Structure 1
Amino acid sequence: MNELIEKINASYEALKADAELQAEKGNKAAGTRARKASLDLEKLLKEFRKASLETSKA
């Protein structure tokens, strides 16, 4: 579970950095990376939800 949380934090930081670059400097490549990071983050959050439910049932 801790490893999953670390992956979520890393993905969020990547998203945040690229989104800021796109917003502040208009960097199109950063926008593409931010969108990809958002999809990765979505998958990780779904995994977290499953793991959290399993942990609460135990």
Structure 2
Amino acid sequence: MSNRFQEIKDLVMSLEGDFDKFYDKNNQAAGTRVRKGMQDLKVLAQSIREEVQNLKNQKEEE
């Protein structure tokens, strides 16, 4: 399993408490942290997509 996948898992797990606080306890600050975490996840996912595409293209050229 790649380190990149572990990065995603760690990021998602780090947001669990804030999801709880926002959805169950209506903590608005936690909602802000969730939004930031989701943006970080989006950026990380895009980075991984680009990496995978580049590796795929390299293998096709060989």
Q: The TM-score by the shorter chain falls in which range? A: 0.7 to 0.9
Gaps in structure 1 of 5+ consecutive residues: none
How far did residue 31 of structure 1 move?
0.9
Instruction: Provide the identity percentage.
Output: 29
TM superposition score normalised by structure 1 = 0.79
TM-score by length of 2: 0.75
Unpaired runs of at least 5, structure 2? none
Q: How many residues align?
A: 58
Higher relative contact order (CA 8 A, sep 6+): 1
Matches within 5 A, 1:36-55: 36-55=36-55
RMSD between aligned residues: 1.8
